[in-house]
Structure 1
Amino acid sequence: MIFDLLITGATIVNADGAVNATIAVQGGTVAGLLAPDTALPDAVRTIDATGLIAIPGGVDGHCHAEQVTGKYRSLDTYASTTSAALRGGTTTILDFGIPADASERPIDALQRKIRLISENGARCDVALHGSVITWDDTTSAQLEQMAKLGVHSVKMYTTNRGSTMSDDDTIVRVMHEMARLDGLAYIHSEHDGIIVDRTAACADRGQVGIAHLHESRPRISEDASVREILAIAEYTGSPVYFVHQSTPDAVDAVAAARARGMHAYSEICPHYLLRDDSVYSSASPEMFACCPPMRSAEDVAGLRERVRRGLVDTLSSDHTSYDLAQKREHSDDVRHMPHGLPGAETRMAAGYTAMVIQEEQPIEDFVAMFSATPARVNGLHRKGVVAVGFDADLVLFDPEERRVVHAEDLHQDSDFTPFEGLELGGWARYVVSAGRVVVDEGAFADPGPVGRFVGQAPFSERPGVTRPAARVPVG
């Protein structure tokens, strides 16, 4: 056999350990892991990766492409978002079929996104979450249609009144359906009543601009909402996944639920590990307009400690490509500005820096959160592991390389990054996606519009979705 690709000399790191082997790729799949002393077979191309680390391609479980929220549209296409993701070591993204307005049904929003994946030229594989804003007598049938398409997760927002927010009745009903249909509820969890009240109080004081974002969305709004949603999940029997958790107490609540037998998962984003709320006093606070906002330095330290203990399951970008002009249109009133940060390209480097370089965690822990666990939790059976029979989605990087981040050097359809000026490690030297070398010695080799819509397995068919008991730190 003549293999399509051989990768020699790398240290292969999966979530469960490291080995030295030659990776053989054929037909978009890992066809073999050969002992280092094995005579090399013939191959169309061989990459000498001596000194590099090989990890499974990243799976970004929370990425917004071609997002429409009210009058605001993100500036990207599937082609550009997936190209940026590939440059940053992510070979699969999970996007959302969120209704653009009240007239669009959830199933129509989902099918619109499925069409756009091919029409707008995705460069890597894309899976989708559905989304429900308002329950009606057709919603149950629509969720059944989603499941038949391979979409077994549905996102709901507990805030954003008047746009994407789902009320309590809708959340309860959708969670009942997720339990019935063997699915997973994705939740943006902030208590809307608390946020509305606090924001109104800030406005009364003339403190509702972007510099006061963190004051208008206090940490208790997230903590209270997480506890409430966990109660609904326990009542309905639905598995539940909390996106972009930003407070230690929120993570602790999920960990406690998991300890008593619930299927409950925590996601974190790199910007909550590398930035704190002092950024809202900077010259460009709009660069950090996201919900939840950045938290205190004490909260950041608490989040890092929980990541070290294994209490957080996944590392996602929550990528959205707005630019500063869109942000600054209403920087004087956070109630009207678009929230969301670009991060698909920087997720690997920012997460690796926070976890491995700064906190000295094992690379295996990073691989688990960056790739392996998001693949398992989201039912993507062929992703997240460098092993025979899995998709040949691979990242090779030099653990010693460092770069200072500047927005002008990135490719995310935005003119800013929340990591501007930070020195980060963990940059991809080579990226292989479905067996194709798409980043070659740091240069992007555009594969063209080859990205596929990939379906998820039902929740009960997802092996290893329940994390082992959290590691207890010594001392």
Structure 2
Amino acid sequence: MDTVIKNGTIVTATDTFRGDISIKDGKIQTIAVNIDPGNAKVIDAEGRLVLPGAIDAHTHLAMPFGGTVSSDDYEAGTRAAACGGVTTVFDFALQTKGEGIIETAQRRNKICEPQACVDYAFHVAITDLTPKVLEEFQTAVDYGIPSFKVFMVYKKEGLMVDDGVLCKILKKSKETGALISVHAENPDLIDLRTEQFLKEGKTSAWYHYLSRPEFVEAEADKRAIHWAKSLNAPLYIVHLANKEGMEEVKKARDEGYEIYAETCPQYLHFTSDVYKREDGRNFVCSPPMKGQESQDALWEGIKTGDIATIATDHCPFQSYEKDWGKDDFTKIPNGCMGIENMYPYMLSEANKGKISFNKVVELCSSNPAKIFGCAPAKGTIVPGSDADIVIYDPNKDFVVSKDNMHSDVDHTIWEGTELKGYPVMTLSRGRVVFKDGEFLGEPGWGKMLKRRRK
């Protein structure tokens, strides 16, 4: 053995128990009550929780959008991930016109491979569905990329697919074992409302929210779920943020359909009131934060199991870029940070008693691993799985600040947030990549995952 983690309380999605963990060649070797370390390196986890590393299944690193590029490249984003206890990052590779699915992922991998500090995978966002691309679904699944994304918005940006294309994609996914994720909002309603607000001189960040309020997202959620149910195809709704959509997900799941919903920490912590703040433009993302009723519904969905995963939609832009929209909300690049905040925030909520630590592991680690086909190597602590491990001190108070974060963005929407408990160490395949506030990893350590959905 190379390393032994001793005296900790091990937490998985289903169990909590005292035990030691031995690690050899990047894998968990043994879990037992008292392991003799011999000459192995010892990590003492007395008084601390030992958790599987989190999986952020929704990020946009180095993504061109809104006239710029998201401020965290693959090195900065995965460095921040490691420092927040995230040991696997899923990024979206956007297809360009005429490009194949595997070709799209390989193009992005050439950028990511030398930069990634933790392991990673790609969802391919399909924007140009040709007959050739449709036939490539099976090849992509066999290659190890079994998850694709479609946008029901961003028509002007050339990313949107219409209902006919969405149904073709869902039908083919059912045949091939792929899983389709959707960004669900109604673009026509957004455009209609945006045009009216601009005409009336209503240009602050508050009108970003009012241009795409609850019902604009809910309609698209219902439409996507309707098509998935009609075709009996699995569906994964990204960044769900509204009560009505949450109710539709619950109804479909109660009827036995394979519908998954993801939400994000920003929707669980902030409401649409942030858009009334002086710095409201920094919170602009799509879909936007919603009202208190929606936030309450999301927390209830977590408790009932109808929210399957927590992810971040990490897509930050520098504050000076957000300032482009100071007098016109349509010019604000859409996206917020969260990759370093997700696990600490959710674990803090558990530490405060809102949910259990097991539920946090389920939402942030084991469920995304199972849904996207990287279990049991990822998402749990069992012999044979990768030694992606987070050591969490429940007694460490932490206040989030730009100055103690590790990405390249120059601000954080989480500034001043007080957390009860915080990760003090992260291991990626047995290697310590974060310890006591310091990043210890290196670019190029992360490996691309080939996945198989069951």
TM range (shorter): over 0.9
State the distance in 1 between where 2:271 and 2:41 align.
45
**Residues 217-264 of structure 1 deviation map (CA, whole Å, 9 limit, x = unaligned):** 110011111111011111222210011111122122112111112110
Q: Which of 242, 245, 248 lines up with 1:250 in the alignment?
A: 245
Check whether the contact 1:287–1:418 (CA below 8 A) recurs between aligned residues: yes
Query: What's the CA shift for 1:35?
Result: 1.3
Query: What's the CA shift for 1:169?
Result: 1.6
Check whether the contact 2:13–2:362 (CA below 8 A) recurs between aligned residues: yes
Query: What's the CA shift for 1:6?
Result: 0.3
1:154 is aligned to 2:148: yes
Q: Which of 269, 278, 281 lines up with 2:273 in the alignment?
A: 278
State the distance in 2 between where 1:350 and 1:131 align.
28
Query: What's the CA shift for 1:98?
Result: 0.9
**Residues 239-291 of structure 1 deviation map (CA, whole Å, 9 limit, x = unaligned):** 10011111122122112111112110010100111111111111201220101
Letter in 1 for 2:245: A
Match of 1:81 in 2: 77
Match of 1:118 in 2: 113
Match of 2:18 in 1: 20
Check whether the contact 2:66–2:331 (CA below 8 A) recurs between aligned residues: no
Where 1:21 maps in the other structure, the secondary structure is strand
Pairing 1:136-175 to 2, within 5 Å after superposition: 136-163=130-157, 164-175=159-170
Match of 1:450 in 2: 445
Match of 2:194 in 1: 199
Query: What's the CA shift for 1:419?
Result: 1.1
Query: What's the CA shift for 1:348?
Result: 1.0
Query: What's the CA shift for 1:140?
Result: 1.2
Pairing 1:417-428 to 2, within 5 Å after superposition: 417-428=412-423
Quick check: 261-270 or 63-72, which moved more? 63-72
Letter in 2 for 1:391: D
Where 1:430 maps in the other structure, the secondary structure is strand
Check whether the contact 2:281–2:325 (CA below 8 A) recurs between aligned residues: no
Check whether the contact 1:8–1:47 (CA below 8 A) recurs between aligned residues: yes
Q: Which of 30, 40, 46 lines up with 1:32 in the alignment?
A: 30
1:108 is aligned to 2:103: yes
Letter in 2 for 1:245: L
State the distance in 1 between where 2:231 and 2:4 align.
49
Query: What's the CA shift for 1:445?
Result: 1.0
Where 1:427 maps in the other structure, the secondary structure is strand
Q: Which of 397, 404, 411 lines up with 1:402 in the alignment?
A: 397
Q: Which runs of 5+ in 2 are unaligned?
A: none
Q: Which of 336, 339, 345 lines up with 2:331 in the alignment?
A: 336
State the distance in 2 between where 1:155 and 1:395 align.
29
**Residues 112-137 of structure 1 deviation map (CA, whole Å, 9 limit, x = unaligned):** 11222213x21111011111113223
State the distance in 2 between where 1:448 and 1:215 align.
41
Match of 2:350 in 1: 356
Match of 1:375 in 2: 369
Quick check: 69-78 or 366-375, which moved more? 69-78
Match of 2:125 in 1: 131
Letter in 2 for 1:178: S
Query: What's the CA shift for 1:66?
Result: 1.4
Check whether the contact 2:66–2:332 (CA below 8 A) recurs between aligned residues: no
Check whether the contact 2:268–2:299 (CA below 8 A) recurs between aligned residues: yes
Letter in 2 for 1:84: A
When normalised by structure 2's length, the TM-score is: 0.96
Pairing 1:236-315 to 2, within 5 Å after superposition: 236-315=231-310
Check whether the contact 1:344–1:412 (CA below 8 A) recurs between aligned residues: no
Match of 1:69 in 2: 65
Query: What's the CA shift for 1:70?
Result: 5.5
Pairing 1:433-444 to 2, within 5 Å after superposition: 433-444=428-439
Match of 2:86 in 1: 90
Where 1:138 maps in the other structure, the secondary structure is helix
Report sequence identity in percent: 28
Check whether the contact 2:153–2:160 (CA below 8 A) recurs between aligned residues: yes
Query: What's the CA shift for 1:63?
Result: 1.1
State the distance in 1 between where 2:296 and 2:288 align.
16
Quick check: 179-188 or 292-301, which moved more? 292-301
Quick check: 417-426 or 53-62, which moved more? 417-426
Q: Which runs of 5+ in 1 are unaligned?
A: 462-475
Aligned length: 452
When normalised by structure 1's length, the TM-score is: 0.91
Alpha-carbon RMSD: 1.7
**Residues 302-337 of structure 1 deviation map (CA, whole Å, 9 limit, x = unaligned):** 222222232211110111131111111133333333
Question: CA 1:416/1:70 → structure 2, altered by over 3 Å: closer, same or farther?
Answer: closer
Query: What's the CA shift for 1:405?
Result: 1.1
State the distance in 2 between where 1:251 and 1:357 align.
25
Letter in 1 for 2:184: S
Match of 2:7 in 1: 9
Match of 1:469 in 2: none
Check whether the contact 2:246–2:297 (CA below 8 A) recurs between aligned residues: no
**Residues 337-359 of structure 1 deviation map (CA, whole Å, 9 limit, x = unaligned):** 31111111111112223x31445
Instruction: Kindly report structure 1 stretches of 4+ aligned residues shifted beyond 4 Å.
Output: 101-107
State the distance in 2 between where 1:448 and 1:8 align.
29
Where 1:401 maps in the other structure, the secondary structure is strand
State the distance in 1 between where 2:282 and 2:4 align.
41
Match of 2:180 in 1: 185
